[in-house]
Structure 1
Amino acid sequence: MTTAVSTSPVSPPKPPAPAPRKNGPRAWATRAPLLPALVFLIVVTQLPFVATLVISLFDWNSLNPDKRSFNGLENYASVFTDAALRDSVLTTILLTASVVIATVVIGLALALLLDRTFFGRGMVRTLLITPFLLVPVSAALLWKHALYNPEYGLLNGTLSWIGELFGDTSPAQPDWIADMPLLAVVTALVWQWTPFMMLILLAGLQSRPAEVVEAARLDGASAWQTFRYLTLPHLRRYLELGVLLGAVYIVQNFDAVFTITAGGLGTANLPYTIYQTFYQAHEYGLASAAGVVVVIGTIIIATFALRTVSSLFSEEANRA
């Protein structure tokens, strides 16, 4: 005896209805304390940027205020075609790349050193962080007068002391800023920003799974193999974060160039050129256009930095 089987299709279960959005008085009450901060943020950051954006569309020289006129995007064309601005863009790229690469390499070496246990590690860590705690102008003045000065600077004093040890009573006394201006600025920035990179990479090293490193050592992996195949891949996100944040800060650097070389000898980067265009040439429209270009470039770099930070937090959350 056969039993009839129903072949009618079974309807799939309906997806749950989305939860209703909470837009009632209670939701607005929880958001209300944030409104003053939001208004303050808009007034302080966004309104000045909008004003800069509007000024960048005008041919505006403060020495001739009556001749102000709307010129559209001509100021932006001048930013990319003017020889001085173009040279400052190239100087900014060279300065940023040099400082970031040097700080990452030195910061990684110092982070690997501080990741080990040795006597006085806390004192060494404090001393290495100190340059980052100085005000940028103070750090630049320190390098300009205490180290680079050809007459009483520490560098030339050290050369004189070494020369006297070998019987040379009159060793060469180079003028560091005049002979190698861009390198002088790069060295001062590397000294100040290396602790920043070191802290980021040290945090990455201390987040390594200790059992994985110990297992690699028990399997006979050398120190280089452990670094190459375990430490370096683990630090990839932290290296990206350090490079991106370092680039954001160095691109905007003004203090070292202004203090050490005053923008001379081919060291004028884009922020210093904007300063010259605005305060010395009084070209408000052209300076505003260059400032907008810098802001857009910084936003692009910061976007990648924020994505890197978000991925780091996601990895740590998944690991937990």
Structure 2
Amino acid sequence: MATTLVDKHNLKQHQRRTEKDGSGMSKAEGWRRRGPLLPALIFTIVITQLPFLVTIWYSMRNWNLLRPDGNQFNGLQNYVDIFRDSTFRSSAVNSIVITLGCVFFAMVLGIIFALLLDRKFRGQGVVRTMLITPFLIMPVAGATLWSISMLNPSFGLVNWVISLVGIPPVDWTSQHPIVSILMALVWQWTPFTMLLVLAGLQSQPKDVLEAAQIDGAGWTKTFFWVTLPQLRRYIELGVLLGTIYVVNTFDQIYLMTAGGPGTASANLPFYIYQRAFLGFDIGQAAAMGVVVVIATIIIATLALRLIFRSFDAKD
């Protein structure tokens, strides 16, 4: 009996040592796999997090380059001042309008073009290349193209087209600045959403579509009840990525409207530029930058959670 108890005790001790050795090996294996990623992680921290910490430090100081002697710590006063600033609030509203408008119209047009390209026809490669081209053009070149060639009140192509139906010329960038910026942004971002949706269309199982046809479902019912649910992941990803990029729009506003008339078309990135490089108010510009970054992180985190939930539900 005593021998049996000793044997059981030794067996338990051996199992514990084995588990410890095994966990040690797993940790070593984990560090061996993560090791090559550490330089990239350190580099990312240095170029992103350290500047952000410095920006937070600037945002808590009353620092205007025109008054270098007034560089003093003022706590959260800059944050209080920017939320009291009516121009900051209107710029935030413009950012929301431009972002949501661009993402919505670009996604709708992207779905339409993807449906048209998801079939065989003569010249398909040429048409696809032409539709993708706007996304490959630099934002500065695209904004210049729309400002001069498309929306110019004297010789712009848009005014020439509307004059054919008797509509008088319109000074788009002055009378409708937000609409002008949306035109350029939707033109640039529609190819991106089209490619995402087209990838989703070409990856959906063909047997499901055939089953819908056998059941007598028409094109409309097949699209809304079969195809569109299959595209949910791709649409959500396009909306997320488009929102993150479009909310930081600067080139189109700077080159097409310069934030005007006045500040009617200024969004948050452009207004931060004005405060920092035209108003020389480093403290308030830094505070605005911190607010924009935090808001973007919150929105992106919520959107990613929704996307991951849809992936888990699908799986």
* Fold conserved between structures, TM > 0.5: yes
Match of 1:151 in 2: 154
1:224 to 217, 220, 226: 220
Match of 2:274 in 1: 276
Match of 1:92 in 2: 95
Alpha-carbon distance between aligned partners in 2 of 1:185 and 1:29, rounded to the nearest angstrom: 49
Q: Does residue 1:235 correspond to 2:196, yes or no?
A: no
Count of matched residue positions in the alignment of Structure 1 and Structure 2: 297
Alpha-carbon distance between aligned partners in 2 of 1:198 and 1:27, rounded to the nearest angstrom: 39
Q: Which amino acid aligns with 2:160?
A: G
Contact 2:114–2:195 (8 Å) recurs in 1: yes
Q: Does residue 1:116 correspond to 2:135, yes or no?
A: no
Shift of 1:103: 0.8
Query: What are the equivalent positions in structure 2 for 1:25-174 lying under 5 Å apart?
Result: 28=31, 30-159=33-162, 162=164, 172-174=168-170
Alpha-carbon distance between aligned partners in 1 of 2:173 and 2:296, rounded to the nearest angstrom: 29
Alpha-carbon distance between aligned partners in 2 of 1:305 and 1:120, rounded to the nearest angstrom: 38
Unaligned segments of structure 2, at least 5 residues: 1-14
Contact 1:247–1:301 (8 Å) recurs in 2: no
Offset from partner CA, 1:235-277 (integer Å, 9 cap, x none):
1222211111111111111111111000012100011000001
Shift of 1:214: 0.6
Shift of 1:193: 0.5
Match of 2:298 in 1: 300
Contact 1:57–1:73 (8 Å) recurs in 2: yes
Shift of 1:309: 5.8
Match of 1:209 in 2: 205
Offset from partner CA, 1:16-40 (integer Å, 9 cap, x none):
9584044777765554433332222
Q: Does residue 1:248 correspond to 2:244, yes or no?
A: yes
Q: Which amino acid aligns with 1:211?
A: D
Contact 2:153–2:169 (8 Å) recurs in 1: yes
- Normalised by the length of structure 1, the TM-score is 0.85
Contact 1:245–1:305 (8 Å) recurs in 2: no
Unaligned segments of structure 1, at least 5 residues: 1-13
Secondary structure of the 1:191 match is helix
* RMSD (Å) for aligned C-alpha atoms: 2.5
Match of 2:11 in 1: none
Secondary structure of the 1:49 match is helix
Alpha-carbon distance between aligned partners in 2 of 1:234 and 1:158, rounded to the nearest angstrom: 38
Q: Which amino acid aligns with 1:206?
A: Q
Offset from partner CA, 1:136-178 (integer Å, 9 cap, x none):
1111001001111122222233445x37xxxx8xx73221212
Alpha-carbon distance between aligned partners in 2 of 1:26 and 1:94, rounded to the nearest angstrom: 49
Alpha-carbon distance between aligned partners in 2 of 1:141 and 1:226, rounded to the nearest angstrom: 42
Alpha-carbon distance between aligned partners in 2 of 1:187 and 1:48, rounded to the nearest angstrom: 34
